[in-house]
Amino acid sequence: MSRRHLIASAGAGLALPAFAQAGSRHRMTIENPFIRNRADGQIYQDGGWYYFTGSVPEYDRLVLRRSKTLAGLATAEEVVVWRRPETGKMGGHIWAPEIHRFDGQWHMYFGAGDHGEVFHVRTYVLSCPDENPMTGTWTVTGQVEMPWDTFNLDATSFVHKGQRYLLWAQHEPGIDTNSNLYIAPLATSTTLAAKPTRLTVPTLPWEIIGFKVNEGPAILARNGKIFLTYSASATDYHYCMGMLTASDDADLMDPAAWTKSPEPVFQSSPENNIWGPGHNGFTVDEKGRDLLVYHARDYKEIVGDPLYDPNRHTRLQYIHYRKDGTPDFGVPVKIGPLV
Q: For the segment 50-102, what is each residue's pLDDT rounded down to a tens digit?
A: 999 999 999 999 999 999 999 999 999 999 999 999 999 999 999 999 999 99
Summarize the confidence of residues 293-318 as an average pLDDT: 96
pLDDT, one tens digit per residue, over 8-24 is 222 322 232 333 333 33
CA distance 85 to 176: 32
pLDDT score, position 19: 31
Check pLDDT > 70 for residue 202: yes
Q: Which residues are catalytic?
A: 40, 215
Element (H, E) at 169: strand 163-170
Q: Which CATH superfamily is domain 18-337 in?
A: Glycosyl hydrolase domain; family 43 (2.115.10.20)
Q: pLDDT confidence of 276, banded at 50, 70, 90?
A: very high
pLDDT score, position 11: 30
pLDDT score, position 33: 98
pLDDT score, position 203: 98
Q: Are 9 and 17 in contact (CB under 8 A)?
A: yes
Q: Which residues pair with 183 in a beta bridge?
A: 167, 197
pLDDT, one tens digit per residue, over 213-261 is 999 999 999 999 999 999 999 999 999 999 999 999 999 999 999 999 9
Residues with Cβ within 8 Å of residue 224, at least 6 apart in sequence: 247, 248, 325
* Residue-averaged pLDDT of the chain: 92
Cis before 185 (ω within 30): no
Q: Which residues pair with 305 in a beta bridge?
A: none
What is the share, in percent, of the chain residues with pLDDT greater than 90? 90
235-241-246 Cα angle (round to 5) = 145
pLDDT score, position 119: 87
**Dihedral-angle region of residue 84 (phi above 0 means left; psi in -120 to 50 means alpha; beta otherwise):** beta
Summarize the confidence of residues 283-294 as an average pLDDT: 98
Residue 52, amino acid? F
CA distance 124 to 105: 15
The residue among 197, 204, 285, 205 whose CA lies nearest residue 246 is 197
pLDDT score, position 267: 98
CA distance 192 to 183: 10
CA distance 228 to 216: 10
CA distance 171 to 177: 7
CA distance 135 to 132: 6
CA distance 322 to 133: 38
pLDDT, one tens digit per residue, over 115-155 is 988 889 999 999 999 999 999 999 999 999 999 999 999 99
The residue among 165, 176, 158, 155 whose CA lies nearest residue 111 is 155
Q: pLDDT confidence of 27, banded at 50, 70, 90?
A: low
CA distance 161 to 252: 11
Summarize the confidence of residues 253-275 as an average pLDDT: 98
Residues in the chain: 339
In the Cβ-directed half-sphere of 328, how many Cα atoms lie within 13 Å? 7
pTM, rounded to two decimals: 0.91
In the Cβ-directed half-sphere of 25, how many Cα atoms lie within 13 Å? 10
* Beta pairing class for 152-160 and 139-143: unpaired
